[in-house]
Chain A
Amino acid sequence: MKWMHRVGLAGLVVVLSGCAGQGAQPGHDYSALRESRPASILVLPPLNETPEILAPAGLLAQMTAPLAESGYYVVPVGVMVETFRQNGLDQPADIQQVDPARLRQIFGADAALYTTVEEYGARYMLVGSVVKVRARTRLVDLRTGRELWSGSGEAVRQSNNNGNGLLGMLISAAIEQVANSLSDAAYPLAGVASQRMLAAGGSGGLLHGPRSPRHQPE
């Protein structure tokens, strides 16, 4: 009997955490996005508010899949970075200042995502660690400069060491610290955060693009 409650509780946690990508925004206003109907998206290099230098790359590399699987063409991000570089632009802050009309002219995209990484990496405590990635983004029409949609996404992995005594806790915290830094622990979480931020269909989330079978033409 008791186990049933535990299973139920675990299920509840999964229900609450697993699908709760976007915050509920009932009555979200999609009129600008519906009117603009973008088919292709340019994912600009994210601004970095964290001390982790790999944060922008970790996010940029994983924002294509949720957008493409939601039905949008996504301008190849590695090639885009190279094009900016060849034009003397390698800082996200400078790149995000480029005139939308000029971006449209070069990349041919209908809209661009202006993203900021807010948190990226691990924090260590006596009893374990928390790895967290959080980002926010705005979708802007490159033909009009108008904001079409905005969203955010977050992923957290918490690990606790309990029942091992103080020495055990210290040892596993130390091991974890090494493991986290060696394996770039935030990278997979950046993928989850990107998914939660950009996958279409959630409450307040992006709408499906024209390449998706769930796209609703108007």
Chain B
Amino acid sequence: MSALPRTLCAGLLLLALVGCASQPRSLYGWEGYQPQVYAYLKGEGSYEEQIAVLEQGLQRIRARGQTPAPGYHAHLGMLYAQIGRSDQVVQQFQTEAELFPESRPYMEFLLKRKIQEVGP
């Protein structure tokens, strides 16, 4: 009753602590990207507020030497499009394409369609 269950208990506890913790460190810096996408989808908060949160997050990501998550720059570019800042739109979409060549066809599609002219 005593020795075996105790070992089993300790083993299980160890497994619980170690088992899930063996993930490698994050590939990307996320900051508020997903919550800001959610806010955008819900139509919550102004575009200016969402831009401010993402720009601040970007500074923290850069300070840590991380790569921003896929979509981070593109989402920021779309928000700039909503407030008519076309210089920023082009810059953000191009940065997304440079960081992630997989995004180039879509970023070029967006730049060609001049999404910045389709603001609110």
Contact = CB atoms under 8 A, between A and B. Distances in A.
Binding partners A and B:
yes
Interface of A: 1, 4-5, 7-8, 11-12, 14-15, 18-19, 39-40, 54, 57-58, 60-62, 64-65, 68-69, 71, 73-79, 81-83, 86, 106-109, 187, 191, 211-214
A65 B34 CA distance: 8
Contact of A61 (B37, B96, B113): B37
Interface of B: 2, 5-6, 8-10, 12-13, 15-16, 19-20, 24, 26-28, 30, 33-35, 37-38, 40-42, 69-71, 74-75, 77-78, 96, 100, 102-106, 109-110, 113, 115, 118
Contact of A11 (B16, B30, B110): B16
> A interface, by DSSP: helix, strand, loop or mixed?
helix
A81 B43 CA distance: 12
Given A76-B96, A212-B27, 4 more contacts: A78-B41, A106-B109, A108-B106, A108-B109
Contacts of B41: 57, 60-61, 78, 81
A54 B39 CA distance: 11
A4 to B, nearest CB: 6
A50 to B, nearest CB: 16
Contacts of B6: 4, 8
Contact of A211 (B27, B71, B77): B27
Contacts of B115: 82, 86
Given A18-B16, A69-B26, A78-B41, A107 B9 contact: no
> B interface, by DSSP: helix, strand, loop or mixed?
helix
A213 B24 contact: yes
A29 B13 CA distance: 33
A73 B78 contact: no
A76 B104 CA distance: 12
B101 to A, nearest CB: 9
Contacts of B74: 76, 79
A19 B20 CA distance: 6
Contacts of A60: 37, 41
Contact of A75 (B37, B38, B103): B103
Given A18-B16, A39-B102, A69 B28 contact: yes
Contacts of A75: 71, 103, 106
Contact of B5 (A8, A18, A57, A68): A8
